[in-house]
A and B are shown apart, each in its own frame.
Chain A
């Protein structure tokens, strides 16, 4: 019977395809959720995969499904069982499978004739008896939906590892990490600030995930990093950098003036060093530079309010900015000159040559002046008191109040070559780090380990730097990611 044999062939083909589909959807399901698991691990910073590998990760389930389909299609299934299933599904009183018996025996008797007549009626709708199972559909839809929905989700939603507690108050707010992942790079870095665990972790050589901070670190390690991050657009964009230099100088002068007005006395060594550095950068040709040199030449105990006000006026003037060449060349040559310059310049820090973003040399001489204010004074270590993180990182704050205490770059932190504005507790200490720029909090309460983030200063820095739009976006994205809910 030709029609029955062709029907059998069709049924067998469909069964093989369905078998392939069933196995394929199982493979897809397993593969999809395995891929999601890996992606989740990457999201939580438990794994590190580059972009091509991530793309491949979401393609692997489909490849697995294709391979499983091929295996399933090749797999043979016993026809009698299939026909009996079909009979049951179509309620054909086991005629298809009974006819198969006669077909195998080569029977040409009256029963075969009768069966063929009855089977012909149901043969047209045999496909109804072999539908694509609900399990197959559910597995397929679940897998595809999971993949399609979770890829953008994972790509857009920030990792919990990067989410830190919102910092509503800038000043005096201790940085605490809310890291969902033990390996959360930034979270760990931030928590390390409080828990003094960051140095060990950094030193342990943990491989950080491919994250924004890595990109930032890559920028730093690149040859033009000082030009990008050090405000060295002066070299190729004087118009852009001059106002920022003036603004920074004005801000520095304003803070010094304000402190003198409140506390009286003269310049602290740190302030003096910072002003000297600024004057050197501006050069003697600039009016502001000359004003600063004049201010610095005043005797100890002299009231500097007028000089400071005058210098601020000059700094506010458009021509206060120095010629860009000097600073640019200085900045670009920073890596090689860092150590010797670092001793002289109060604010300028240069990264050591070949030093990676995550492993700054602890042997390098610190150069950032220590604030002389009361808060800084409170940071001093009492006899017998264990040295806290701040002291360890910054080379120890052993000096008495008023002395210039050199600060070392803590592990995992890189100093910025900036004439930074002063923060509430003195000169703002800016570091390029895997966390956020930090400064010590005014620790009136005696907690020397508390650190704060000055977002206004950060914003000012970011706006003032001649960073390329791409770099600016990167930095902004980074800080938005790590300070979700913050300012």
Chain B
């Protein structure tokens, strides 16, 4: 059980982090919140958008605002798993030769997997264990990653040249998938001003330590959610399955596979994170609504008809949200 003081400190940490990020990133409040929620909920986030929208800057700013180790992996088609995870190398120590593990860039607190869909699926899959179990296995050895750990991946829209769609198993491990939209005119002007005046863009100073982040995670995990809302989340997730009685007609027509149970877990965790950032003492329906789309949009797979007709998954989810009642 957390104390009042812990709660206050955690909320203060969250507030500082947010201020630090919004001081650098213009607009994109939802994206910033999603990144923070993911970090506070011990998840991973996938940022999708065309190049130049500030995805990488966001991750760099987050890493800068935290007094944590940061690493960036630029995914390319020729990137190999060992380039990410590390490998055993032959070393000589006092005349004896032996293999020593050389950790890859995955061994950091904040990992930026830039343009993750430019690597082959084999390399992409190298992140699976790290993202889910927070461990890395190389050869016969398994290494535990240091907490707090977060993978922030960016990807270009998959229909662009030279990209490899992420495997479903990989995608499912991202707590949230955030679509980064182009800035508005005012935001673009502000971005231009910040980057061209004076010394240019200055990354934020560290405002939170790893211990503070872990304290925040404990607090977030304690935020109560009503049993009725948990059932509501379950119905929402089941409604993405075409064979479910909760499914809408369009879901039945256009969806091949619905969201996995991991989606329900992600939805509740993310809703808790959202409630924490909002300063609420409990999870509200509004919190679930805020994270519903980013938590499920990458977990629903369209069937051939849906793909052929170009059915947007967000519209299906919006329909599910509007038709599923809290109180049955």
Q: Do A and B come from one complex?
A: yes
Which A residues are closer than 8 A to B by beta carbons? 80-81, 83-85, 87-88, 93-95, 97-102, 107-111, 113-115, 118
Contact A93 B286 (CB under 8 A): yes
- Taken together as a complex, chains A and B put the C-alpha atoms of A39 and B1 apart, in Å, by 67
Of the listed residues B7, B228, B326, B328, the one surrounded by the most CB atoms of chain A closer than 10 A to its CB is B228
Interface segment, B121-129, B218-226, B307-315?
B218-226
Contact A81 B228 (CB under 8 A): yes
Find chain A residues with CB under 8 A from B285 CB: 93-94
Contact B280 A107 (CB under 8 A): no
Q: Of all chain B residues, which has the CB nearest A79?
A: B227
Find chain B residues with CB under 8 A from A100 CB: 226-227
Contact B2 A110 (CB under 8 A): yes
Q: Of all chain B residues, which has the CB nearest A98?
A: B282
Contact B284 A94 (CB under 8 A): yes
Contact B222 A111 (CB under 8 A): yes
Q: B283 near A: Cβ within 8 Å?
A: yes
Find chain B residues with CB under 8 A from A118 CB: 281
Find chain A residues with CB under 8 A from B326 CB: 84, 88
Smallest beta-carbon distance B61→chain A, Å: 30
What is the number of contacts between chain A and chain B, taking CB atoms within 8 Å? 77
A107-B1, A109-B222, A110-B7 as given contacts; A84 in contact with B229, CB under 8 Å: yes
A81-B228, A88-B327, A101-B225 as given contacts; A111 in contact with B283, CB under 8 Å: no
Find chain B residues with CB under 8 A from A109 CB: 1-4, 7, 222
Find chain B residues with CB under 8 A from A107 CB: 1, 224
- Taken together as a complex, chains A and B put the C-alpha atoms of A115 and B280 apart, in Å, by 9
Find chain B residues with CB under 8 A from A83 CB: 226, 228
Find chain B residues with CB under 8 A from A101 CB: 224-227
Of the listed residues B229, B280, B282, the one surrounded by the most CB atoms of chain A closer than 10 A to its CB is B282
Contact B222 A97 (CB under 8 A): no
Contact B283 A94 (CB under 8 A): yes
Question: B1, B228, B281: which contacts A114 (Cβ < 8 A)?
Answer: B281
Q: Of all chain B residues, which has the CB nearest A102?
A: B224
- Indicate with 1 or 0, residue by residue over B265-294, a CB within 8 angstroms of chain A CB atoms: 000000000000000111111100000000
A80-B228, A110-B2 as given contacts; A85 in contact with B283, CB under 8 Å: no
Of the listed residues B223, B225, B227, B328, the one surrounded by the most CB atoms of chain A closer than 10 A to its CB is B227
Contact B1 A93 (CB under 8 A): no
Of the listed residues A83, A102, A111, the one surrounded by the most CB atoms of chain B closer than 10 A to its CB is A111
A81-B327, A84-B326, A88-B327 as given contacts; A111 in contact with B281, CB under 8 Å: yes
5 residue pairs, one from A and one from B, having the closest CB atoms: A84-B228, A98-B282, A97-B226, A114-B281, A110-B4
- Taken together as a complex, chains A and B put the C-alpha atoms of A110 and B6 apart, in Å, by 9
Contact A85 B229 (CB under 8 A): no
Find chain B residues with CB under 8 A from A102 CB: 224
Contact B282 A95 (CB under 8 A): yes
Find chain B residues with CB under 8 A from A114 CB: 281
Question: A85, A95, A108, A110: which contacts B327 (Cβ < 8 A)?
Answer: A85
Besides A109-B3, A111-B281, A114-B281, 9 other A-B contacts (C-beta < 8 A): A84-B326, A88-B326, A94-B226, A98-B281, A98-B282, A102-B224, A109-B7, A111-B224, A115-B282
- Taken together as a complex, chains A and B put the C-alpha atoms of A352 and B328 apart, in Å, by 74
Find chain A residues with CB under 8 A from B7 CB: 109-111
Contact A93 B284 (CB under 8 A): yes
Find chain B residues with CB under 8 A from A99 CB: 224, 282
